[in-house]
Amino acid sequence: MTSDKRGMHGIWASRWTFILAAVGSAVGLGNIWKFPYITGENGGGAFVLVYLLCILVAGIPVMIAEVLLGRRGRMSPIHTMQAEARRQNAPRFFSGIGWMGAVSGFFILSFYSVIAGWTLAYIGEMASGTFNGADATVAGETFGNLLGSPWVLLGLHTIFMIMTGFVIARGVKHGLEDGVRLMMPLLFVMLILLLGYAITTPGFGQGWNFMFSFDFSKLTTESIVVALGHSFFTLSLGMGAIMAYGAYMPSEASLTKTIFTVAFLDTLVALVAGLIIFPIVFSHGMEPAAGPGLMFQTLPIAFGALPGGAWIGTAFFVLVAIAAWSSAISIAEPAVAWAVEKGIKRGTATIMVCVLAWVLGVGTVLSFNEWGDKQFFVTETISESVTDPVSGEVSAKTLSSSFHLYANTTDLKAVPLAEGTERAISGKTFFDILDFLTANILLPLGGLAIAVFVGWLMRREDSANELQADETVYNVWRFMLRFLSPLAILFIFINGLL
């Protein structure tokens, strides 16, 4: 029934084009924006180590499985999974993996576009010289002003979504290939340049230690879940993006080598981004746990201090925007390819997908201003500081702690406190929920399903045929996919839920 759809979207010009496109998908806001800030929030080195382990144990084996499935199916992930699940006589659940991925894709695209819009704003800010000689205060205020303007954010979100739609509508070959070929190398050059600057800052040693000295006491179960989720997010796994790209991969290209290259480059970019950002954080007495604003509040200071920094900074944000652009395209591709296979014109399909994601994105826009205090899963703890009479040490003693499924944090804060007590509130905004749900739940679940499917349900000769690797490589990969990857994902999940 579906054989007429096979390969209807075109094939990459060569193995290298696939690598470029896959790196274009993998390297994006996840590496430059998200990785540094979650590393900051989760205490540094130990988190980085867990993240690297997750890439190795779960990310790479699942990535190979996903591309293998895509290339075998040569269709959108939804149709590929339906066809392949039938061919392998797998339980029905597995034919739905593609659908789950498409849903995750909508969620991700909706907020991804909003954050990418911030990078567009920073192109303008850099070019107009806002940050010349700027300190942490100026950088913080500029960012705060941006987040406080929902209309500006909405406009930028709209522009970015149109940019994304434009490339997708042109098709993978013409839209995607040309873009990534030029931009990816430039981004690398720029990162190396910035790393050179970071090395000269007084905070470099501290930044390095923050990222690479392992203090396991800082590691919580939630950090481990976040590290696992991020390893999927950063490699574009668990939702079909890389499977869709695999569908356009030439048959003779070596899968394992190709994927190692992609994963290596992606990890390298993330680590370098961290090594640029944290030295600046420490050189300027900033907070590593600043959250989503981290990149936007640190890098401008670096540019402001460099001769010609306004220009370098402008170029840098242009490149980050392009990296985000090439990722956003891949997030939307599975849904668009599916619609095209259903007989809808590529242009129309693109508009449908982008409009839907755009509407959902409005929630993320508002999360940073109007809806900032409307939060879910809110815990409020009231504590008092007590001074130990013997040692004189001051510590916080929790007096009460309450949980609300939903709360308006402004209302919570309005309730007066007893003297000498303090209140801490933590909750999740609309954006936080989408981010958490996709990266930490849906993507790892998608990855788990793919590992089980390819590792356990797909006939050995089928995967061996598609992989075309030598015996040892194949066996190592299959072992990891059957045992290590699913167990690691399950273990982290179960621990995280308890």
Residues near ligand PHE (CB under 6 A): 25-26, 28-31, 108, 233-234, 236, 239, 241, 327, 330-331
Q: How far is the CB of 425 from ligand PHE (least distance, A)?
A: 29
Nearest to 334 by CA among 9, 2, 1, 4: 9
Nearer to ligand PHE, 42 or 330 (CB): 330
Nearest-CB residue for ligand PHE: 30
Nearer to ligand PHE, 30 or 496 (CB): 30
CA distance 77 to 336: 11
Count the Cβ atoms, other than its own, within 10 Å of residue 412: 17
CA–centroid distance for 493 within its chain:
19
Q: How far is the CB of 414 from ligand PHE (least distance, A)?
A: 38
> 405 Cβ partners below 8 Å, 6+ apart?
376, 377, 378
Strands (E), 316-451: 374-387, 394-408, 421-428
Q: How far is the CB of 402 from ligand PHE (least distance, A)?
A: 35
Q: How far is the CB of 25 from ligand PHE (least distance, A)?
A: 5
- Residue 46's Cβ-count burial label (10 Å; 0-12, 13-18, 19+) is buried
- Give Cα separations from 472 to 187, 243, 475, 477, 478 (angstroms): 35, 24, 5, 8, 10
Q: How far is the CB of 11 from ligand PHE (least distance, A)?
A: 20
Nearer to ligand PHE, 60 or 286 (CB): 60
> 12 Cβ partners below 8 Å, 6+ apart?
18, 21, 172, 173, 177, 248, 249, 250
Q: 425 in helix, strand or coil?
A: strand
Task: Compute the radius of gyration of the chain from its Cα atoms.
Answer: 23
Nearer to ligand PHE, 236 or 256 (CB): 236
Count the Cβ atoms, other than its own, within 10 Å of residue 182: 11
Q: 481 in helix, strand or coil?
A: helix
Q: How far is the CB of 112 from ligand PHE (least distance, A)?
A: 7
- Give Cα separations from 31 to 25, 230, 267, 349 (angstroms): 11, 9, 8, 29
CA distance 251 to 248: 9
> 394 Cβ partners below 8 Å, 6+ apart?
385, 386, 387, 388
Amino acid at 378: V
Nearer to ligand PHE, 327 or 364 (CB): 327
Nearest to 120 by CA among 413, 258, 316, 347: 316
Q: How far is the CB of 303 from ligand PHE (least distance, A)?
A: 22
Residue by residue, DSSP assigns 51-71 as HHHHIIIIIHHHHHHHHHHHH
Q: How far is the CB of 233 from ligand PHE (least distance, A)?
A: 5
Nearer to ligand PHE, 95 or 330 (CB): 330
Residue by residue, DSSP assigns 87-105 as HTT--GGGGGHHHHHHHHH
Angle between helices 443-452 and 60-73 (to 10 degrees): 70
Nearer to ligand PHE, 232 or 368 (CB): 232
Nearer to ligand PHE, 314 or 330 (CB): 330
Q: How far is the CB of 28 from ligand PHE (least distance, A)?
A: 3
Nearer to ligand PHE, 123 or 134 (CB): 123
Nearer to ligand PHE, 119 or 130 (CB): 119
Q: How far is the CB of 115 from ligand PHE (least distance, A)?
A: 9
CA distance 203 to 279: 4
Nearer to ligand PHE, 310 or 360 (CB): 360
Nearer to ligand PHE, 235 or 469 (CB): 235
Q: How far is the CB of 161 from ligand PHE (least distance, A)?
A: 15
Q: How far is the CB of 236 from ligand PHE (least distance, A)?
A: 3
